[in-house]
Copies of this chain bind each other. A is one copy, B any other.
């Protein structure tokens, strides 16, 4: 909060014209959107090859294009190395030097390069630390100190699919952890159910949402993931204003277990909106209960031509996944047979 008020005050009190954003996670992307709305010239430096590394690079590429369509200068695979006072000596004029030697004049530089848990106070009081230096807790949100509960961005977060502590700093999770900690602190007995890796963001006219595990995350959890891509309209094309959705569906090849999904699309096209963020939550609800990808096809989801199709796009993506997984298994068998011969 303090940081965002400081940025707002700076923009109000100074004639800031150029901003450089360091970091292309969701804070960096939201700041790019917000600062363009206020008329600034915006440069975004991304250390990863595509912006928003918490989604598949294929979708990250589309997010980058949306930024550029809206006038944001996007530089990928670069780090910020140094900030110089600009040569003309104006008080508020800076210059950001990147790892490729680029120089980016700026009246405002915002670092949005990740979150570290502020666990010093608890640690100095004897609390054990866990994942990423966050306070170690049980699923009842107990620290190792008697009668001391902890919740939010300073604690580790149990991941329901990976079945181990991770570090995720999101308000949704903090609220749920706080409810559990609070109930237990007054004598209740509630367990934190765990995070699923759900996230949504608006970037200009795009909505992007994900839940579950990316392939590399799934492999770290000893799953054998396959991710299949589907493009489907959010609703029947014969009803005006259909929005194409790019959907990635992930599941475990061996067991068919659902591992996650990602959706990207225009949040508003004309007067229509594609219900992307709550569509990902259908998958989150299924993940919560260890569903199989095939279970999505069996779910009685809502349909009316302005809002969906008889098979919801999520279900079309599940069907694509089933076929892709079968094809991959077949070509694998053919491959093994050829090797044997």
A304 to B170, CA, bound (A): 10
Of A17-25, A111-119, A283-291, the one with at least 4 CB within 8 A of chain B: A283-291
The A170-220 residues at the B interface (CB cut-off 8 A) are 170-176, 179, 193-202, 207, 209, 211
A173 to B277, CA, bound (A): 24
Residue with the highest number of chain B CB atoms closer than 10 Å, among A194, A267, A281: A281
Asked whether A302 lies within 8 Å of B273 as measured between CB atoms, the reply is no
Interface size on A, residues (CB 8 A): 56
Name the one of B198, B285, B300 contacting A173, with C-beta atoms under 8 angstroms. B300
Asked whether B288 lies within 8 Å of A298 as measured between CB atoms, the reply is yes
Asked whether B304 lies within 8 Å of A281 as measured between CB atoms, the reply is no
Contact A278-B282, Cβ < 8 Å, known A176-B297, A300-B197: yes
Of A97-105, A225-233, A307-315, the one with at least 4 CB within 8 A of chain B: A307-315
A35 to B267, CA, bound (A): 29
> Chain B contacts of A311 at CB under 8 A?
172, 175
Contact A301-B172, Cβ < 8 Å, known A202-B307, A285-B282, A308-B278: yes
A296 to B164, CA, bound (A): 22
Q: Write the nearest CB–CB distance from A276 to chain B, whole angstroms.
A: 8
Known A-B contacts: A171-B310, A194-B300, A200-B303. Give 11 more (CB < 8 A).
Answer: A172-B311, A193-B298, A197-B300, A272-B273, A273-B273, A275-B277, A277-B307, A281-B299, A284-B299, A285-B301, A289-B291
